[in-house]
Amino acid sequence: MKRLYFLLPDLEITKKVVDELLLAHIEERHIHVIANEKTPLENLPEASLLQKSDFVPAVERGIAMGGATGVLTGLVAMALPGVVIAGGALLAMGLVGAGMGAWLGGMIGMDAENVHIKKFEDALEAGQVLVLLDVPKERVDEVLALIKKHHPEVEFEGTEPTIPAFP
């Protein structure tokens, strides 16, 4: 799955686009709408904290760094005289490190704004609406063409390589 980002000029067009996406068999749980605080989204699928924050990338970085730190700590412990650590203990230290890194990274990431959304702050303040859309890789061109066909004023702002690992 890929996450598409696109700006829509107003709420009326956003409602039409969301309806067309639903008719194109895009599930509502894959559509995330973000607007400024003054814009009521009514029955549109609003983006959750997971989409608005840097949670998932922070967890991914935490897992990598925590796991590496755990394994490195185990290797250092193995080098100490009188300390005997088997492979299982080394693996366990890596897993514990990855778990701690994921937890700490997630805590930090919840407070950080999503870097992709941060680019759109000015447009959102001006009243535009940002839509984050998760679609299968093979349907990206089809969905983009569908939206452009009916709404040429839509500004596509790119894609993320993959959607978050934790939906």
pLDDT 10s digits, 32-90: 998 888 888 888 888 887 788 778 888 889 999 999 999 998 888 888 887 777 778 88
pTM of the model: 0.71
Task: Please report which confidence band the pLDDT of residue 167 belongs to, taking 50, 70 and 90 as the band edges.
Answer: very low
Residue 33: inside a domain, yes or no?
yes
Instruction: Determine the pLDDT at residue 43.
Output: 86
Count of domains forming the chain: 2
Dist. CA 79–CA 1, nearest whole Å = 44
Contact 97, 66 (CB under 8 A): yes
Average model confidence (pLDDT) across the chain: 83
SS3 helix, strand, coil % of the chain, rounded to 5?
55, 15, 30
Selection from 20, 36, 29, 23 nearest residue 133 by Cα = 29
Residue 167: inside a domain, yes or no?
no
List the domain range (segments joined by +) for residue 91. 55-111
Contact 5, 165 (CB under 8 A): no
The residues, any chain, with a CB within 8 Å of residue 13's CB and separated by 6 or more, are 129, 151, 153, 154
Residue 165: inside a domain, yes or no?
no
